[in-house]
Structure 1
Amino acid sequence: MKKVLLTICLAAATLTTFAQAPTFGIKGGVNFAKLQISAEGTDMTASSGNNTLFNAGVFVDFKFDKVSVQPGLFATAKGGKFSSNLMDDEGNALQDASAKFNLLYLQVPVNVVYHAPVTGGEFFFGAGPFVGYGISGKATANDGSSSQSEDVNFGDDGEFKTIDAGVNGIAGFKFANGFLLNLNYDLGLTNIANNSGDGRIKTRVFGISVGYQF
């Protein structure tokens, strides 16, 4: 993660030389997160249900006419929710069972953004890579009568790998006064499962946020 931040700082210093004066912004909102799971050695995949979480962070915009380069640093929560109906031997429903994962990442996206000015502001569309660093997590299981939670760990000895990486897209509208409405979608490309017996687990996040660009 330190290498990623250093690379971004060096790139930002270079961009400042050629771009207009950089502007800064803040954004925050809600994430609708899923986990895509595929069994090892097969092409079968399944997705969890949405887990409603949050995102918040800051960004810098280096603008070149109608195109800008926009790195940022965000706290973004990912995860998923799984549910099932427990049955007896005769097929009668006994109780509902569910489990959800909340995974918190520090995430660095670097987007190339196109700006389309209109009356009252501008539309913007962009895409680029992201790298996320897992810092904390929690798993909660509920069998219909009781629930139990435990911490989720990242790293070599944890349930999930520390690094999540992929591509993301953003779109939205910036008003003339600086306020922002923003949509984003993060497509995780790395397998975050530490144990190969768990198959492949990848993150999926759709986010809605508001913000302000100074």
Structure 2
Amino acid sequence: MQKLVFTIFLAASVSTTMAQQVHLGIKAGPSYTKLNGVDHAQITSASNAYRVGFHGGVTAEASIINKLSLEAELLYSQKGAQNKIAPKIKTIFSYLDLPILAKISTGSTGAFFEAGPQFGYTIQVVSKWYGTRYKERDLYEKFDIGYVAGLGYQLASGPRIGFRYNGGITRMNKPAISDGKIYATEDMRNNAFQLYVGYVFGKRQAVQ
């Protein structure tokens, strides 16, 4: 009985400690994205231009040791590109992204650097040709793996701002198939810059 009581007490203590060290938050902001490679709307490496999209979602940050923490996020992200010559030709990707980042603070100023892998699930792909929409979800891979690196500034009271670069690692477009044969196509990968503002809930201490 004493062992059971001790185990319950220990588990409750650990849970309370972890809860005190984990901070939840929200974030949102614009994305500036383009594609490396070629997509099925014939937006090639040479002709594709950056387009503005949106990203936003929830965050959870857990302290590991002094000045080092781990942050996981669940984000809705718009990516894609538009044709440099004909801006009304564009491809828009909608993702559910899960970045898992190591965050290193630089001191009491609240500045930080973050980097790590990102795992994305493709929700929707839409190509637009002069106002006409084409759903092309089946032409692309379901999952996208990439990397994230960025920096930002966290206020002790909760607000923060940051800037990131997202790069794709895995190929997005599926191989072209005709008459039962698979033909190689140019690899296409995401390329995105993101600016965001956010808020971390709960009392935050200034970084020592």
Matches within 5 A, 1:9-88: 21-37=21-37, 46=46, 48-63=48-63, 64-84=65-85
Q: Where in structure 1 do 4 or more consecutive aligned residues deviate above 3 Å?
A: 14-20, 44-47
Aligned equivalents of 1:188 and 1:77: distance in 2?
14
Pairing of 1:132-143 with structure 2 (within 5 A): 132-142=120-130
CA distance in 2, matches of 1:60, 1:124: 16
| CA deviation map 1:139-163 (0-9, x unaligned) | 1112xxxx3211221xxxx111111
Distance change (3 Å), C-alpha of 1:168 and 1:51: same
Where structure 1 has 5 or more consecutive residues not aligned to the other structure, the ranges are 1-13, 85-95
Task: Indicate which of 104, 113, 116 corresponds to 2:106.
Answer: 116
User: How far apart are the structure 1 equivalents of 2:16 and 2:170?
Assistant: 31
Say which SS state the counterpart of residue 192 (structure 1) adopts: coil
* RMSD of equivalent CA atoms: 2.6
* CA 1:62–1:82: 2 relative to 1, 3 Å: same
1:207 is matched with: 194
Native 8 Å contact 2:35 2:45 kept in 1 = no
Give yes or no for contact 1:123–1:173 (8 Å, CA) kept in 2: yes
Deviation at 1:182, TM superposition (A): 1.1
Q: TM-score, normalised by structure 2?
A: 0.77
Find the counterpart in structure 1 of residue 179 from structure 2: none
Identical-pair percentage: 26
Deviation at 1:176, TM superposition (A): 2.0
> What amino acid maps onto 1:148 in structure 2?
T
Give 5+ residue unaligned stretches, structure 2: 1-13, 177-183, 202-208
CA separation in 2, counterparts of 1:73 and 1:131? Answer: 10
Whether contact under 8 Å (1:57, 1:74) holds in the other structure is: yes
Q: Match of 1:105, as an amino acid?
A: Y
Is residue 16–residue 22 contact of structure 1 (8 Å, CA) maintained in 2?
no
SS at match of 1:200: coil
Instruction: Pick the aligned partner of 1:100 from 80, 86, 90.
Output: 90
Count of residue correspondences: 176
Structure with greater strand percent: 1
Using structure 1 for the length normalisation, give the TM-score.
0.75
- Give the Cα–Cα distance (whole angstroms) in 2 for the partners of residues 73 and 159 of structure 1: 24
Find out whether 1:184 has 2:169 as its counterpart: no
Q: Per the alignment, in what secondary structure is the counterpart of residue 198 of structure 1?
A: coil
Give the drift of 1:38: 6.1
Cα offset, 1:33, TM superposition: 0.7
AA matched with 1:54: F
Contact 2:28–2:55 (CA under 8 A) maintained in structure 1 = yes
Structure 1's 122 and 141: CA in aligned 2 closer, same or farther, altered over 3 A? same
> 1 CA distance for matches of 2:47 and 2:37?
6
Question: How far has the Cα of 1:45 moved from its partner?
Answer: 5.3
Amino acid at match of 2:101: N
